[in-house]
Amino acid sequence: MNYLSVCSGIEAATVAWHPLGWQAVAYSEIERFPSEVLAHHYPNTPNLGDMTKFKEWSIESNVDVLVGGTPCQSFSVAGLRKGLDDPRGNLMLTYLAIAKRYRPNWLVWENVPGVLSSNGGRDFGSFLGGLAECGYGFAYRVLDAQYFGVAQRRRRVFVVGYLGDWRPAAAVLFERHSLQGHPAPSREKRQSIAASTRAGADGGGAITARMVAFGEYSDDGTASAMKARDYKDATDLVMQPIAFSRTDDGRDATHDLAPTMRVAGHAGGVLAAAVGTDLYNLSITGDVAACMSTAGSTSSKTGPTVMQAMAVRRLTPVECERLQGFGDNYTDIQPKGKPTPDGPRYKALGNSMAVPVMAWIGQRIKQVEQLSERND
């Protein structure tokens, strides 16, 4: 299967569909940093740039699938809701024009749930009507990434189209049991966060606090939906244990900690919890290890001396990559040999699709294709 990806971002589709043996014939991305990520990982796949200039494109290979998530700002509940009056929203019409030109058998389109109610639903209705005019049958469904193996609540509308018939599209997005009126049970709350979002590249024992409102957090085991603006505004927090310990014989007694939090060979240290840019001293209750006392003692005859606390911080770019289903440091491309700034990484990841959801859709398309071949 060959696919053409528009509004490519950092290519969740390629990460998801490469294991299926599918090939990208071209990308279409204009943002600088995502384009650098594409050039770094996929140097042999052309980036055609501005999708509004599709009439100038020269693609020699056949296109089996057209995939893209046109900019969602004009349809987001948090946005200005200008709908099709916003030029960014009009890119969904450009998507239809590209489909009409290349006539792929399959279409995959993604957007925020706000598209369903934008302009009283008329904007989304215009898109679906455009699909029909182009000869596509279609189905659409809201999918949440938390049910596909990542600890992130990320609900998105997915439209799948099939040239000439709606039934293959419905077979991709809807399982047989859901069509029979027996939906799968809802996800139970977990007591701890998934291992994929554990703190640091090799740390452990961390939990996330999902921001449900400004200043209010929930620790139900999932992160909030990642947004492009997260690189400017802190949302979810990670609470990670830190400890300073020493036994009577001088051995380091720390365990299950991120390596940077270890204080091997030292009798103690200063503990503080970092929240945003402010530091708050932790209160100390109960018995205090001698090495932490103000008397200056550096040893204890009463057993191990351990003090633990929680350091509060933001999610790291690596953790955000995991929340979207990418491999560690996928966006750490170090352009021009310099360290990759966190800001562009947060933004690109917030704009991306969730890889496991795209993998599921790709697998379903492949299954439908295989069934069709058997019936021919």
pLDDT digits (tens, 9 = 90+) for 220-250: 666 666 666 555 554 655 655 554 444 445 4
Statement: residue 171 has pLDDT above 70: yes
pLDDT digits (tens, 9 = 90+) for 13-22: 999 999 999 9
- How many Å apart are CA 238 and CA 135, to the nearest integer? 48
> Architecture of 2-186+322-375 per CATH?
3-Layer(aba) Sandwich (3.40)
Statement: residue 27 has pLDDT above 90: yes
Statement: residue 304 has pLDDT above 50: no
Q: Which residues contact 283 (CB under 8 A, 6 or more apart)?
A: none
Mean pLDDT, the chain, rounded, equals 74
Statement: residue 305 has pLDDT above 70: no
Statement: residue 292 has pLDDT above 70: no
Among residues 72, 134, 291, 320, the one annotated as catalytic is 72
Task: Give start-end residues of each CATH 3.40.50.150 domain in the chain.
Answer: 2-186+322-375
Say what the pTM is: 0.70
Q: What is the pLDDT of residue 76?
A: 57
| Confidence tier at 142 by pLDDT (50, 70, 90) | very high
Active site annotation includes 291: no
Q: CA angle at residue 285 from 283 to 291, to 5 degrees?
A: 90
- How many Å apart are CA 373 and CA 3, to the nearest integer? 19
